[in-house]
Amino acid sequence: MKGMSTSIHSVGRTTASGGPRLESEATFRIMRGAFEQALSNQPERIHESWYGFARYSVLIRVVGRSLAKYTIEPFAHLQTGETLSDVPALTIELWDESETGVSCPVGPLVPSDDRESIWQVEGGGFASSRDRRFVSYEFGESRAWLDRKQGHIVGWTRNGERLSLYERGKPHHRLLSVWYNDRNVQIVHAGLVSRDGHGVLFAGSGGSGKSTSTLACVSRGFGYLGDDYIGLQALQDDLFVGHSLYNSAWLEPGDSGRFPFLLPHVIQGKHPANDKLLILLSQVCPGQLHRFAPIRALVLPRVAHAPDSRLQPASKGQALLALAPSSILALVPSPGEHGLDRLVRLVEHVPAYRLELGYDLQQIPNCVEQLLAKVIR
């Protein structure tokens, strides 16, 4: 079993008290027993389906109709309808207390002898056991644990109807990041589109124009793999493949009018903290959702406040600077040195360009098409 990166950094370590100080394996067994009790209470409310996550077979089992609906929607384009292997590489088992009557048997995350520490991440709590086999994440009224050795996530939600937009758009993002990383698929903060099987990766910090560029391309018929996070895999012969994680897209409220085709499908959050709008593209353009694509070019968008969009060659250093901060330093857990080395190899072997974003959104896909014609010869 590959160990989780030791470069995880603490962002506001907590010393909260309360909750049982249970050894991690015992805690996981207790959570699993609670899932089985929920299933026993409401056997008719189980939803089971199979998916391909970066070509690995994944089984999702959810007890609770609302929770099942909101959990599987972002993965709809990855559903296989059949098993990819006899034994899934990952099993995800979740239950909804409001529909099953089974509460979470594990209290709030607390530091204990068998846990390294707890980090506060995006309003939630992330914890790892000392042997790194178990990781857990608590967010709002949901808690979930991952057994990295067995490839098994088990989780509880108090009420599936009260999930935040974050939970609906990126289910179990933190735990899945660890699971993917164990399989040498690095989670990268970037957008990814494809045309005729060739992928273009949009990299940059928040507000740089990744989502705008991605959705502008989708409006022109490009394939969609993500506008927020994607999985990066390095194959032989310096080939890099991007994997789709979710079919969810995110918009600033002020930008929604720029994409009229998305307006009927906008999902607004119920909580004040939800400052973005969620769109599930499986409800908009299911035929344009792709599972993976080889990355042929890196594009570094920047809002230029100019009439026209234009492309310029970018240096390897500029490309790495656009990718690394939000994909290495800002992620918990961090992929560490191995992740940085993978990004260095990516920018060394894939051509990079700066894209100055003009006012006319339709010029963006034009520029990307011209770029692909140039790099694929």
Q: Which of 16, 13, 52 is nearest to 180 (CA)?
A: 52
Instruction: Judge whether 249 and 215 are in contact, CB under 8 Å.
Output: yes
Instruction: Report, in this order, helix, strand and coil percent for the chain, each rounded to 5.
Output: 35, 30, 35
- The pLDDT confidence band at residue 314, using thresholds 50, 70 and 90, is very high
Annotate 234-283 with DSSP letters as a single string: E-GGG-EEEEE---EEEE-GGGGGG-GGGGGG-B--SSTT--SEEEEGGG
Structure tokens at 333: 């857990």
Q: Could you read off the pLDDT of 204-261 as tens digits, one per residue? A: 888 888 999 999 999 999 999 999 999 999 998 889 999 999 999 998 888 888 899 9
C-alpha closest to that of 4 among 129, 172, 139, 190: 129
Confidence of residue 337 (pLDDT cuts 50, 70, 90): confident
Closest by CA to 186, choosing from 52, 351, 51, 345, is 345
- In this prediction, residue 317 has a pLDDT band, given cuts at 50, 70 and 90, of very high
Cβ-based neighbour number of residue 233 at 10 Å: 20
Maximum separation of any 2 CA atoms in the chain, in Å: 62
Domains of the chain (ranges, CATH numbers): 24-182 (no CATH), 186-375 (3.40.50)
| The pLDDT of residue 80 is above 70 | yes
CA separation for the pair 8, 336 (Å, rounded): 8
Mean pLDDT along residues 193-198: 96
**Residue whose C-alpha is closest to residue 328's, from 337, 316, 319:** 337
Supply the pLDDT for residue 208.
86
0.85 cut: is pTM over it? yes
What pLDDT does residue 245 have?
98
Kindly tell me if the per-residue pLDDT of 23 is higher than 80.
Answer: no
Phi/psi zone of residue 18: left (φ > 0), alpha (ψ -120 to 50 degrees), beta? left
Structure tokens at 16: 């909260």
pLDDT at 9 (0 to 100): 29
**Could you read off the pLDDT of 135-178 as tens digits, one per residue?**
999 998 999 999 999 999 999 999 999 999 999 999 999 999 99
The overall average pLDDT reported for the chain is: 88
**Residue with more model confidence, 344 or 109:** 344
pLDDT of 22 reads 46
| Confidence band, pLDDT 50/70/90 cuts, at residue 275 | confident
Taking a C-beta distance cutoff of 8 angstroms, is the pair 26, 145 a contact? Answer: no
Could you tell me the pLDDT band of residue 110, with boundaries at 50, 70 and 90? low
